[in-house]
Amino acid sequence: MPTAFRGALLLGTRSSALALWQTDHVCRRLMEVSPSLAVRAVPLSTLGDREVDAVLSDLGGAAFSSEIDRALLDGRVGVAVHSLKDLPIKDNTGIVTAAVLSRDDPRDALVSTLEGGLASLPSGAKIGTSSPRRRAQVLAFRNDLLVEPVRGNVETRIAKAVKGPLDAVVLAAAGLNRLGRVEHIKELLSIETFVPAPGQGALAVQCREHDHEARALLALIDEPAVRSEVDAERAFLSALGGGCSLPVGALARHIDGAPLELHGFVGALNGGESIRISASGEDPLELGRALAEQAISLGARELLA
């Protein structure tokens, strides 16, 4: 069991309450497998956290990870903890995702003080989300709703639904669960209607590619079932040429020992036509690529153009 780190193992993370909760969770998992290990979180500022008024797609695909990558590569931290859905499709050069773990509820959640769920909101209600995927699925379900961009941490977005100016916001259920804010959930949105982001609810822990000691340690907390689900989802997104700026969703699940089941969504930002497909298979990467090819044959390229 690898424990021979000099001093504390430093874990780089974003500085939000959710990111710190997730990093503390990883710290506890590491100490379970290596009780003598000293660990410490190192909060870091990222471009995506600083530029709260910017459109995420304008900041590039690594808005929440590039500064943490630099800290990892220059040795300021030994490992990095991320919400997996926020990571670019490809790891940065010199970095590997050595553990994928602790998938919470992958669904989206509606936060609102209005009665009923999404189907019961009054026509013209303002729904907050800056996610192209969530926007596409909200409008595909209710094209009479108004979708408004909203950025900020979980608490900031909750407040905009509770106090205004928005009638509701759509957030990841996993974040609300982890922060103990489940009382704000008005409705958990079904995956048949709202296919989550690839990797939503899962954590990724990265280290330097040639840091064999860190890789061996992180292998002890890696969860192969979660990794295979995420691999299929991200293979689907990758084959469509995507990142988090595209209206694409994917969710893979292991159900009762059956082959891996993958659901995919490709939508239009205006909520018009969409593609919803599913398939099953044994190899996660092949499954993701095959489902993407099916989506492309149904017009996914044109929807995403």
Give the pLDDT score at 2.
Answer: 42
Looking at the structure, do residues 218 and 73 belong to the same domain, yes or no? yes
User: Is 227 part of a structural domain of the chain?
Assistant: no
Tokens of 230: 């995420």
| pLDDT given at position 66 | 78
Which domain CATH number covers 273? 3.30.160.40
Instruction: Confirm whether 86 is a catalytic residue.
Output: yes
Quick: pLDDT tens for 289-304: 999 999 999 999 999 9
Q: CATH no. for residue 145?
A: 3.40.190.10
151 is catalytic: yes
First-to-last CA distance in the chain? 49
Whether 283 and 161 map to the same domain: the answer is no
Choosing from 86, 104, 105, 108, the catalytic residue is 86
The verdict on 68 and 216 lying in the same domain is yes
Active site residue 276: no
Look up 186 and say whether it is catalytic.
no
Whether residue 114 sits in one domain with residue 47: no
Q: What is the pLDDT of residue 281?
A: 97
Instruction: Say if residue 161 is in the same domain as residue 16.
Output: no
Whether 2 maps to a domain, the answer reads no
Q: What are phi and psi of 60, to 5 degrees?
A: 90, 170
As a whole number of angstroms, the distance between CA 229 and CA 236 comes to: 11
> Cα–Cα distance between 128 and 150 in angstroms, integer?
5
Choosing from 85, 160, 215, 227, the catalytic residue is 85
Which of 228, 300, 225 has its CA nearest to residue 264?
A: 300
Residue 196 lies in a domain: no
The one catalytic residue among 29, 157, 178, 234: 157
Say which of 103, 107, 126, 133 is annotated catalytic: 133
Range of the domain at 278: 232-304
Is residue 3 domain-resident?
A: no
3-state secondary structure the chain: CCCCCCCCEEEEEECCHHHHHHHHHHHHHHHHHCCCCCEEEEEECCHHHHCCCCCHHHHCCCCCCHHHHHHHHCCCCCEEEEEHHHCCCCCCCCEEEEEEECCCCCCEEEEECCCCCHHHCCCCCEEECCCHHHHHHHHHHCCCCEEECCCCCHHHHHHHHHCCCCCEEEEEHHHHHHCCCHHHEEEECCCCCCCCCCCCCCEEEEEECCCHHHHHHHHCCCCHHHHHHHHHHHHHHHHCCCCCCCCEEEEEECCCCCCEEEEEEEECCCCCCEEEEEEEECCHHHHHHHHHHHHHHCCHHHHHC
Residues in the chain with pLDDT < 50? 1-4, 59
Q: What pLDDT was estimated at residue 6? A: 65
Per-residue pLDDT, 45: 77
| Active-site annotation holder among 134, 178, 215, 227 | 134
Total count of domains within the chain: 3
Residues 267 and 131 in one domain: no
Say if residue 15 is in the same domain as residue 71.
yes
Do 96 and 115 belong together in one domain?
Answer: no
**216 and 96 within one domain:** yes
Please give the pLDDT value at position 178.
97
Residues 112 and 57 in one domain: no
Q: Which of 70, 151, 253, 276 is catalytic?
A: 151
The reported pTM is 0.92
Q: Are residues 209 and 82 in the same domain?
A: yes
Return the pLDDT at 60.
Answer: 53
In a domain, 195, yes or no: no
Q: What is the pLDDT of residue 62?
A: 58
157 is known as an active-site residue: yes
